[in-house]
Chains A and B, each alone.
Chain A
Amino acid sequence: MEKMKANTTKVDFQKIFPFLGLAAVLIFFGAFSGGRLFTAQNLKAVLNDGLYIIVGASGYAFLFAMGILDFSIGANMAVSCAVACLAAKINPWLALPAALLTGMLISGILGLVHVKAHVDAFITTLAGQFILNGLVLIVLDNSVQQAPLEMLKWYTLPLKLVILIGCMVAGYLMLEHGVYGKTGKLIGSCPEAARQTGINVGRHKLAAFVIMGALVGLLGFVSLIRTGTASSKTGSTLMMNVLNAALLGGLPMSGGPTTKFRGVIVGSLTMAFLTSGMTLMGYNVNTQQIVKGLIFLIAISISFDRKNMKVIK
């Protein structure tokens, strides 16, 4: 009985740790930056930075739930952005569908290789990343492409909020309350059991890849209207930021029922406010790296679900 009680306490602490981390970041930097963390100007900067992380992590949650890691999202974003830029030169309104379709197609193909050829997602997406790094240079003809300048006006606060809130609400409903999300967690927990119950595991995994691809395509479009630029370096930091956010939010790499969508939000906000807070405090880049690394280590040490961590699937 006592053992059970101890286990419950430990699990609860693991659950609330990401929230405590976020609260600590907000309080520390809120107070020591003289409140500048919460000025409209800074919140705008946090929103711009956090948008990529939250949208990316929202898609990643579905892959995480099934115990899948996708290393190709940054490169996929670059290719989607590049294709969107070329489409925009024909007609700016073609940019969004071009970006979405490209992202979905690329992720869909990688997902198909993983599911049908039974190659580990880790290997498939890593190889995919290399392929896409080359592909983006071909699409861009080894150059930095410029989008029509009128598209820069599209990047407005309402649009950002619609994208952000839309992804969060849809992601939460699908992962926490939808059949698809629950099925995904079951697959992450025990794929064989899921298969035995009649679930088409391959189709579900493929769908998770396509969802991720759609969101990455969306981010490619967002990057294009934010910067007016498509280059091979687009999305170069996306993968690490999203992965860090997901882990800081307590999402288990092993997948399964402990994957919670709230972790995506909390982790993303922690990352965005941590970076912003340190910039406000005037920490130089070396100090920032050390602080981020230490916080990351502490967070993972405390919140990581070791029992369910077997191998990268």
Chain B
Amino acid sequence: MKRRFLAAVMTAMLTVGLLAGCGDAGGSGGSTGGDAGGDANAADAGNDAADAGSAGDDTGADTESDATGAGTGSDSAAAADLNEITIAVPFADSGVMFMNQMSYNLNEKLGPVAKVKTVYQASTFDADGCLTFVESEIAAGVDGLMFCPPSDSVLPTICSLCDEAGVYWAISMRSINDEEIKAMCEASPYYVGNCYEDEENTGYLVGKYLGESDAKKIAIITTTKGDTTGDAREAGLARACEEFDIEIVGEARGLAQASDVTNAVESFLSANADLDAVFCVGTTVTGVQEISVKAVQDSGREDVKVVCIDHPEGITALFETGILTYSVGTPSFALDMYVCGIKLVNAVQGTPISGSLEGKSTNFVDMAEIRTVEEAKAYEEAGSNPEYVFFEEDELQQMMRWNNPDFDENALQELLSNYEL
């Protein structure tokens, strides 16, 4: 009897919930708020986005017709007519400095200029986590997604999900290596493109530095094979190794936590008495450079140098130890994500930067090399400011194609090529 009563209560509750859903006219187009500071905010944001939902759909249709018709007729859309839009990013908006910089610029700078709210929904960096992020944010009604895919093979599913839902998407920090998958993605009107570092050249630059420093035996900390970033960096390094006769005597792949890095460096040192350098090629472990430097320091083998890609936090102090001697990376780790965000909002608002090259937009962020304490200090001054502004408001306004119809792929690339902190 009690079970029947309970079943009846649950059925009634479900019915109420369903009716509440049916009663919301703009439900499916709604999106969520970027500021999760409280329930009230979230509810408000949800309502705002629900209002914008149908408009967002219209935008999607407009842009699709641009894609087929190769026109940019809506380029002159006034900023005042912009729709409220929402984009989602699979990173937390707190903790690491580059994330703080990214969220600050997305929320405070890009937000008002492009009428965009950003949702931060952390996901695990694996294929299932990436897909779950995409599916749940599409269900939440976002207008655009940007993420860093863990592999190429997850992209066909994401592409079809976004096509089906009419949601724009962009890739940050990664490129698509598989030609078949690349063609598939680029055929989609909703794929906005990507922005990433020239990874192969980056790997080569580090190898060249090591060669010029007379390093002959090195060990690397890198990603698992199949990670497009790690693979490209290693390809560049291999080229330099051949050119400068450098031997890779140890490698550690796919490390998951700080202690793994310490163990790996300790193993490199104990197994190779004549090791010249440890090269942090790439990993998802935060602070890999600092951990590596400390492991070398603790071993007393201060003749072994540490070199890295992606400037670490506390870079000045690490250079002052004399163990970290070279770092190469984008002016800011968050810059390529931010540029992806700029491309995404342009596309969602109906004025894609790629113009008639719909969905084929690829940009490189040029690398900045740091070799001295002074250079490190200059970088750190800008890099340690969570409220560092990548582009001033007037620059940003000019990067919105509805304000500046001449702003295209080449103009963006030129801007990035000359970018300095």
Contact = CB atoms under 8 A, between A and B. Distances in A.
A227 B28 contact: no
Size bin of chain A's contact surface: 35 or more
B105 interface: no
A231 B156 contact: no
Contacts of A155: 157
Contact of A49 (B18, B36, B132, B225): B132
User: Interface of chain A, helix or strand or loop or mixed?
Assistant: helix
Interface string B15-37: 01111111110011010111110
Interface size class of B (residues with CB under 8 A): 35 or more
B282 to A, nearest CB: 13
B10 interface: yes
Nearest to B19: A35
A38 B21 contact: yes
Nearest to B26: A34
A243 to B, nearest CB: 17
A276 B46 contact: no
B369 interface: no
Contact of A141 (B13, B151, B225): B225
Given A27-B13, A41-B138, A146 B46 contact: no
B93 interface: yes
A231 B139 contact: no
Nearest to B155: A228
Given A143-B224, A229-B153, A237 B6 contact: no
Given A142-B225, A146-B226, A279-B121, A226 B6 contact: no
Interface string A22-52: 1100110011111111110110110011001
A144 B22 CA distance: 43
Interface in B93-136: 93-94, 119-122, 124-132, 135-136
B20 A279 contact: no
A16 B6 contact: yes
B144 interface: no
A149 interface: yes
A49 B181 contact: no
Nearest to B15: A30
Contact of A149 (B28, B119, B180): B180
B45 interface: yes
A30 B10 CA distance: 13
A37 B137 CA distance: 12
Interface string B36-66: 1001011101110010000000000000000
A19 interface: yes
Interface stretch (A161-169, A190-198, A282-290, A300-308): A282-290
Given A142-B254, A233-B125, A282-B119, A41 B139 contact: yes
A107 interface: no
B17 A30 contact: yes
A36 B42 contact: no
B357 interface: no
B140 interface: yes
B23 A229 contact: no
Contact of B20 (A35, A144, A276): A35
Contacts of A229: 127, 150-151, 153-154
Nearest to B160: A152
A42 B224 contact: no
Interface in A120-175: 137, 140-147, 149, 152, 155
B131 A226 contact: yes
A232 B148 CA distance: 17
Given A19-B6, A31-B17, A229-B150, A44 B225 contact: no
B207 interface: no
A27 B150 contact: no
Interface in A260-288: 275-276, 279-287
A204 B23 CA distance: 52
B137 A279 contact: yes
Contact of A279 (B32, B35, B156, B178): B32
A233 B28 CA distance: 33
A30 B152 contact: no
A137 B251 CA distance: 14
A12 interface: yes
A26 B114 CA distance: 34
A280 B50 CA distance: 12
Contacts of B10: 19, 22-23
A38 B139 contact: no
A311 B184 CA distance: 54
B2 interface: yes
Nearest to A29: B17
A260 B39 CA distance: 35
B46 A282 contact: yes
Nearest to A22: B10
A234 interface: yes
B127 A283 contact: no
Given A144-B225, A282-B41, A284-B93, 14 more contacts: A16-B2, A26-B13, A30-B21, A32-B39, A34-B47, A35-B23, A45-B132, A141-B225, A146-B226, A147-B153, A227-B127, A279-B136, A281-B43, A282-B35
11 contacts: A12-B2, A16-B2, A26-B13, A45-B139, A227-B130, A227-B154, A229-B151, A235-B128, A280-B139, A282-B32, A286-B36
Interface of A: 12, 16, 19, 22-23, 26-27, 30-39, 41-42, 44-45, 48-49, 52, 137, 140-147, 149, 152, 155, 223, 226-229, 231-237, 275-276, 279-287
For the complex of A and B, the 4 pairs showing the least CB-CB separation, nearest first, are A35-B21, A30-B17, A144-B226, A143-B225
